Amino acid sequence: MDTQTLQHVALFDKCKNFTKAREVQAAGLYPYFKPISKAEDTVVMIEGKSRVMMGSNNYLGLTHHPRVLEAAKRALEQFGSGCTGSRFLNGTLDLHEQLECRLSQFFGKEAALVFSTGYQANLGLISGLVGRGDIVFLDKLDHASIVDGAKMSFGETERFNHGDLEQLDRLLQRRADRGKMIIVDGVYSMEGNVADVPGLVRLAQKHGAALAVDDAHSVGVLGPKGDGTAAHFGVVDDVDLIVGTFSKSLASIGGFVVGSESVIHYLKHNSRPLIFTAALPPANTAGVLAALDVMINEPERRERLWENTRRLQQGCRDLGFDIGPTQTPIVPVLIGTLEQTFLFWRRLYDAGVFTNPVVPPAVPPDQCRLRTSVMATHSAEQIDFALEHFATLGKEMGVI
């Protein structure tokens, strides 16, 4: 065997030795990559059976809204299926610029920049701005895209304990002479709690740091018109940058950054994830524009979302489940060990309720949970159906 072959075998040893997922599959408890064959808003068809979707981020229920679908169809016919190039070169459509204008107005900022995914928006923002000699400060529960954006940058990274602003204050003080960015989730996707944005604003101003908030799970949920955590707390002018995604309340895929015109202009010419990625497809862009209109013009959707949120949260608490500090439509139900969580997931799944298991390394080994979330379009009967099965299984399995 030659040297090249030996190196090849060594590289793939980790793949051959990775058996955990196959063991779970063999036990019939594997919860991931379940192919959906048909989706009808709050109900999905998986493996030939209809199930109530209690694990989607489609908070306002807009993926099947007629205006969103019609806008996507029109753009498909006008522009074709894709842009076949980056925004920097041949991939910018007038739709992209229309969307950027609408987003900057909606969030009360000077300018906006649209990326092809929400993940890339964080990669592009952080790696584009944080250079050699700069430092980015992350909450330890920040989304993976924020962590990866920090790794991709040429700057340093400091992480502080979740929500520990006293620790952040000390870390910032020690780096007083450096360019600094603080970036946090507005709503934490596995806990459902809201960041202390006013407290972060005070620290950012005290230490001369830029403050960015990832509103992936806040848009359409928090704020007077669904305009996110900064608006929710009344500090829009004090938050320098707002990041978001179109893959949740806005019912598509893609991401954005809004901020000052000078920062957005700089990112357009220095953000590698923007420059070297094909632009957001026309149908998706048009769909987001339509979804934004619906979100603004149908505020009753957000009201229904919060009614459903209260119903699910209170129902879980009344049953005796631990759902942690959630303040949003994200409702994590603590189960316990990994094995118990996978079994609980499977029995719910068989009963017709789809949820998302959250296990290590995302959470400690004894704090595994099922992440549920509600949509504006869930009926009270659907939520109660899920709660009934949670109650039955919780008692049978000794969780409550």
The angle that helices 197-207 and 165-174 make with each other, rounded to 10 degrees, is 10
- Buried b vs exposed e over 307-333: b needs ≥16 C-beta within 10 Å? ebbebbbebbeebebebbebebbbbbb
What pLDDT sits at residue 177? 84
**What digits encode the pLDDT tens for the residues 159-186?**
999 999 999 999 999 988 889 999 999 9
pLDDT tier at 245 (50, 70, 90 boundaries)?
very high
pTM reported for the whole predicted model = 0.95
Q: What is the pLDDT of residues 31-57, one digit of tens each?
A: 999 999 999 899 999 999 999 999 999
CATH topology of domain 21-53+299-396: Aspartate Aminotransferase, domain 1 (3.90.1150)
Does the pLDDT at position 274 exceed 90? yes
pLDDT of residue 1: 52
Residue with tokens 């059976």: 49
Q: What one-character DSSP code corresponds to residue 330? A: E
What letter represents residue 257's amino acid? Answer: V
Give residue 363's pLDDT: 86
CA pair distance 87, 84, nearest whole angstrom = 10
The DSSP-derived string for 48-105 is TEEEEE-S---TT--TT-HHHHHHHHHHHHHH-S---SBTTTT---HHHHHHHHHHHH
Determine the pLDDT at residue 155.
97
Question: What does the block give as tokens for 20?
Answer: 């955990």
Q: Please give the single-letter amino acid code of residue 218.
A: S
- pLDDT at res. 20: 92
Residue 289 forms beta bridges with which residues?
none
| Same topology between domain 21-53+299-396 and domain 66-297 | no
Is the pLDDT assigned to residue 328 strictly greater than 90? yes
| pLDDT surpasses 80 at 4 | no
What phi and psi, each to the nearest 5 degrees, are found at residue 60? -95, 0
* DSSP percent split of the chain into helix, strand, coil, nearest 5: 45, 20, 35
Question: If DSSP codes are grouped into helix, strand and coil, which group holds residue 46?
Answer: strand
Secondary element (H or E) of residue 373 = strand 368-373
Assign a CATH topology to domain 66-297: Aspartate Aminotransferase; domain 2 (3.40.640)
The mean pLDDT value of the chain amounts to: 96
Residue 191 is given by DSSP the state T
Average pLDDT of span 48-74: 97
Residue type, 137: F
- Residue 64 reports pLDDT greater than 70: yes
- Give residue-wise pLDDT tens across range 184-242: 999 999 999 999 999 999 999 999 999 999 999 999 999 999 999 999 999 999 999 99
Strands 135-139, 180-185: pairing is parallel
Q: Report the pLDDT averaged over residues 142-171.
A: 97
Indicate the residue type of 400: I
CA-CA distance, 384 to 308, in Å (whole number)? 10
Cα distance between residue 245 and residue 114, in whole Å:
9
The encoded tokens of residue 58 equal 């489609």
Could you tell me the residue ranges of all domains in the chain?
21-53+299-396, 66-297
Question: Torsions phi, psi of 22, nearest 5?
Answer: -65, -35
C-alpha 369 chain-centroid distance: 18
Give the whole-number percent of the chain exceeding pLDDT 70: 98
- Write out pLDDT tens, residues 341-393: 999 999 999 999 999 999 998 888 999 999 999 999 999 999 999 999 999 99
Distances (CA, A) of 264 to 59, 102, 113, 258, 351: 28, 15, 6, 7, 48
- In angstroms, the CA 186 to CA 123 distance is 17
Average pLDDT score over residue span 21-32: 95
